[in-house]
């Protein structure tokens, strides 16, 4: 079941991540919308996305005067979920929360990853940029666990404020484990990891007042190219996911 937090479409709130979920969902309903081109899943609300919503409401739901708006609890979202044909390549769009993942730390941080600066979408650089992940505050050296089985996708790379980042392709998503200090022996490009295996350690950010955390970013994994890009306010690739619900649902 694909969910959105805010309304999308005509007169909607149109938060980037919600728009992307709807674009994805509409693309899974194109079998019912003959002659309509698949939407670009870029999170930008535009004429083509709104008109695709209206077409769906008209053709499938038989509404004579469609409003082109999808609410988080409305009939259009329910219907879209009911009629979709999930794509096989990466399963479905964003129902990762229901999957069997492990929380990447062996404790829940005292300071919530859902509030303040730590939350996904929180403001950076005075609003010029948005936080692309969730921050799990933890002491330097805290072991980080693989959220699921997977394969290391790249060599460990330099990241932010003298920390490093590890990229792992899990079965249904790609996880970017950021702001780490180092990885254990054997964690290298192409290595297979098992769910729960220690894959890295929390690093120390070289701010004036040192801080330490796991900065976690998730991607659907069906886009290509570099993860850090300039295309949107998150400055991340278009298949970026909000990790909050995945972390909420993960086994602690």
Query: What residue ranges bind Zn ion (CB under 5 A)?
Result: 135, 215
Q: Which residue is nearest to Zn ion (CB)?
A: 215
| Spatial separation of the C-alpha atoms in residues 22 and 237, rounded to whole Å | 17
Looking at the Cβ atoms of 116 and 155, the one nearer to Zn ion is: 116
| Spatial separation of the C-alpha atoms in residues 93 and 239, rounded to whole Å | 10
Looking at the Cβ atoms of 66 and 133, the one nearer to Zn ion is: 133
Looking at the Cβ atoms of 1 and 161, the one nearer to Zn ion is: 161
Q: How far is the CB of 58 from Zn ion (least distance, A)?
A: 42
Looking at the Cβ atoms of 135 and 239, the one nearer to Zn ion is: 135
Q: How far is the CB of 173 from Zn ion (least distance, A)?
A: 18
| Spatial separation of the C-alpha atoms in residues 154 and 165, rounded to whole Å | 10
Burial 171-188 (b: 16+ CB within 10 A, else e): ebbbbbbbbbbebeeebe
| Spatial separation of the C-alpha atoms in residues 135 and 213, rounded to whole Å | 6
Q: How far is the CB of 165 from Zn ion (least distance, A)?
A: 11
Q: How far is the CB of 123 from Zn ion (least distance, A)?
A: 12
| Spatial separation of the C-alpha atoms in residues 23 and 128, rounded to whole Å | 24
């Amino acid at each position: 079941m694909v969910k959105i937090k805010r309304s999308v479409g005509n007169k909607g709130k149109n938060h980037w991540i919600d728009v992307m979920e709807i674009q994805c969902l509409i693309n899974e309903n194109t079998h019912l919308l003959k002659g309509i081109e698949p939407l670009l899943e870029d999170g930008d609300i535009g004429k083509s996305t709104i008109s695709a919503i209206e077409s769906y409401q008209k053709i499938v739901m038989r509404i004579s005067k469609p409003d082109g708006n999808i609410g988080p609890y409305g009939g259009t979202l329910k219907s879209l979920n009911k009629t979709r044909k999930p794509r096989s390549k990466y399963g479905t769009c964003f129902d990762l929360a229901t999957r069997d993942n492990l929380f990447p730390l062996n404790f829940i941080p005292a300071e919530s990853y859902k509030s303040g600066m730590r939350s996904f979408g929180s403001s950076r650089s005075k609003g010029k940029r948005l936080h692309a992940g969730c921050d799990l505050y933890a002491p330097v050296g805290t072991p980080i666990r693989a959220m699921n089985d997977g394969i290391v996708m790249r060599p460990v790379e330099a990241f932010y404020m003298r920390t490093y980042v590890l990229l792992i392709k899990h079965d249904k998503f790609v996880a970017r484990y950021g702001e780490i200090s180092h990885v254990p022996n054997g964690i290298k490009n192409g290595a297979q990891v098992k769910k729960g295996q220690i894959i890295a350690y929390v690093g120390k950010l070289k701010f004036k007042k040192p801080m330490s955390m796991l900065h976690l970013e998730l991607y659907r994994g069906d886009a290509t190219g570099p993860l850090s890009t300039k295309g949107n306010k998150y400055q991340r690739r278009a298949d970026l996911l909000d990790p909050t619900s995945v972390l909420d649902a993960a086994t602690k």
